[in-house]
Structure 1
Amino acid sequence: MKPYDVWLMWVEFPDHPGVGKVRPVVVTEVGDDGVSGVIVKVTGNINWNEPGDIVLADWQQAGLLKPSLVRCGQRYEFLPGDLYKWFGSLSNSDAAKVADGLELTSDSLPYKRTR
C-alpha cells in the first residue's frame, strides 16, 4: 500500500464510538511497518464544502463507483488488517489536490477509534 491508494475500510463515527460503516478511504500516511497509518474518508456526498473537502475529478480511475469527495479534515488511524479491499489509486491531479487539502487541514489530528 502507498499514499493515495483507495481502499475499503470500516470507519467509526467519532460522535458514536463503536458505531460506523464500511466506506472507501484514501491512504495518506503509511507507518514504518507498512500495514498501519492514516487515512481520510471518501463520501458520495459531493456537496460538502468545508476546508479540505476535495471533489475527485477522476473518481472512476480510482476504482470508485460514483462521483466522490475526499474529506481531508477527517483523518483516522488504521491498523494491520483494517483495510479490506484495494480499489485503485488517485490520479496524479487528484492526488495533488488531496495533498493541498491535507496541508490546509494539517492541524486535524487522526481519530483513534475505540474498537
Structure 2
Amino acid sequence: MQPRPWQIWKVWFPFRENPSAGKYRPVVIKEVTEDNCVVIYITSQVEKTHFPDFMLIHNWDEAGLTKASAIRYRRMLKIPIDQLENYMGTLSPYDRIELQMKYLK
C-alpha cells in the first residue's frame, strides 16, 4: 500500500533524549515524496493537550486508533517509506482541517 497524506501508520520513533532508543507509535503522514515521507508524532497522553504543540484528535476511533490520542505537531520526522510498519487508518476531514488551519500554517 502506498502511503498518502493524512493516513496513520505505526513507525519506530526515536526518543528525543536518546535517539538510539525509541518505540513503535502511531504517526500521521504529512507529506510523501518518491522514497521518503514526513510523519508527525501521535501520543495517547491526552492529559497534556494544554501543551502548546498538542492537538486532540477528535475522531480518534474513526482514524483507526485504539484510544483517545493527540498529535504533537512540532515533532516531525523524515523517514524512508519502507520504515512504515502498519497502516492503521486516516484522519477524519474535521481533524485534517483543524491540523492544517491551526497548526501547519
TM value normalised by structure 2: 0.90
**Structure 2 residues not aligned, in runs of 5+:** none
Q: CA RMSD in A?
A: 1.1
Q: Is 1:92 the equivalent of 2:93? A: yes
CA contact (8 A) 1:4 1:28 kept: yes
1:41 aligns with: 41
Identity over the aligned pairs, expressed in percent? 29
CA-to-aligned-CA distance 1:13-58 (integer Å, 9 cap, x gap): 1220210000000000111x0x412111100001222223110110
**Per residue, is there more helix in 1 or in 2?**
2
Take 2:46 and 2:20, find their aligned partners in 1: how far apart are those partners? 26
Question: Would you say how many aligned residue pairs link Structure 1 and Structure 2?
Answer: 101
Deviation at 1:3, TM superposition (A): 1.0
Runs of 4+ with >3 A deviation: none
1:57 aligns with 2:58: yes
Q: Give the secondary structure class of the aligned counterpart of 2:81.
A: coil
Rounded Cα–Cα distance in structure 1 between residues aligned with 2:30 and 2:82: 17
List alignment gaps of at least 5 residues for structure 1. 104-115
Q: TM-score, normalised by structure 1?
A: 0.82
| Aligned equivalents of 1:98, 1:44: Cα separation in 2 | 17
**Any idea what SS the aligned residue of 1:18 has?**
coil
